[in-house]
Amino acid sequence: MTDAARIAGVTTAAILQRIKVGKLYSEFFNGRCRVVSLRSLQGYPVDVKEFARLKKQLCSVSEACELLGVTDAYVVRLVEKGHLEGFRLNGKAWALYRKSVTRNASDYTPGKKGQQRQPGRPARVKPPRLPPT
């Protein structure tokens, strides 16, 4: 929403008002935020099927967690480091490219106790406890 407002040169309240009246086309993504069509923002008609196809190319952080077998904080770190392709939708929600996530899913193998780790990196092993002397 904030990016749409910045592109249009208006406030986010004005964007919400335009969505409400039907001047802008948007759909909910992950139940947290809306994805606004750039074509409708530019004043062109929107192909709803094409918009849905493009939206299917994105996945949320929770979907990426299920695919990769890691935590949501780790997925966000992977995006920030550039290992996964994605972008921030608003202050809390991220959109990740599904192709990037599935491509990198093969890089993760099961580790000890069901945890996931990157291949080539040893799992953390605690040093043995010495008996008290």
Considering the domain architecture, whether residues 7 and 20 belong to the same structural domain is answered as yes
Domain CATH number, residue 87 = 1.10.1660.10
Count of domains observed in the chain: 2
**pLDDT per residue over 49-71, tens digit each?**
988 888 889 898 888 888 888 88
36 lies in the same domain as 51? yes
| Single-letter amino acid, residue 36 | V
Q: Are residues 65 and 46 in the same domain?
A: no
Task: In whole angstroms, give the CA distance from residue 34 to residue 36.
Answer: 6
To the nearest 10°, the Cα dihedral for 116, 89, 24, 52?
Answer: -10
In a shared domain, residues 14 and 34: yes
pLDDT digits (tens, 9 = 90+) for 77-119: 888 888 888 888 777 788 899 988 888 776 654 454 555 555 4
Q: Is residue 75 in some structural domain? A: yes
Domain span at residue 28? 1-56
Query: Which residues share a beta bridge with 24?
Result: none
Q: Are residues 89 and 99 in the same domain?
A: yes
Same domain assignment for residues 22 and 48: yes
Copy the structure tokens of residue 128.
């043995």
In this structure, the answer to whether residues 1 and 52 fall within a common structural domain is yes
